[in-house]
Amino acid sequence: MGVTGSGKTTIGVLLAQGLGWKFVDADSFHSAANVEKIRQGIALDDADRAPWLKALRDAMDGWVAGHKNVVLACSALKKGYRDELCRPGETKFVYLKGSYELISQRLRQRHGHFASETILASQFVALEEPDDAITLDIDHSEDEIVAEIMRQLKVPKRS
């Protein structure tokens, strides 16, 4: 979890590969209207996010019922969102934390994603930092971040 540009997809893909799990990006659950708002730099509100959260929750329920392990990259900016997505005993949150300056710099270099630097300020305003997540500073290498997540999850290294 984290704001746009914090590395959720990149780290999520690498983590899923390291775990041998499926990777899913929560962005793929947004409606076309939500994607267009984000593309225009318009922050989503709770009403915009409600159907998205429900779709994510339904997918997560299906994964749990099907005994499927998934790494889900999701902003989950507010505690209420995380509470809605949490499946006790099944869900672990990893917060990719970075400064506004670092993430803004990354977003200026990113191409091909519908969320740009224009949405970043509103995401930092909406962000309610978790106190019950694995929290990692994103100023480390991707490999270091993934290794630390796996260490904190107590996952044995794959050979």
**CA atoms of 111 and 148, how far apart (whole Å):** 28
Residue 25 has pLDDT above 60, yes or no: yes
Average pLDDT over residues 90-105: 94
* Domains in the chain: boundaries: 8-153
Please report the pLDDT score of residue 29 as a whole number.
96
pLDDT, averaged across the chain: 90
Residue 114 has pLDDT above 50, yes or no: no
| DSSP calls for 69-110 | -EEEE----SHHHHHHH--TTT---EEEE--HHHHHHHHHH-
Residue 148 has pLDDT above 50, yes or no: yes
- Which CATH class name applies to 8-153? alpha beta
> CA torsion sign, 38 to 94 to 147 to 26?
negative
| Per-residue pLDDT tens digits for 27-60 | 999 999 988 887 787 888 899 999 999 999 999 9
Q: Name the percent of the chain lying above pLDDT 70.
A: 92
Amino acid letter at 54? K
3-state secondary structure at position 13: helix
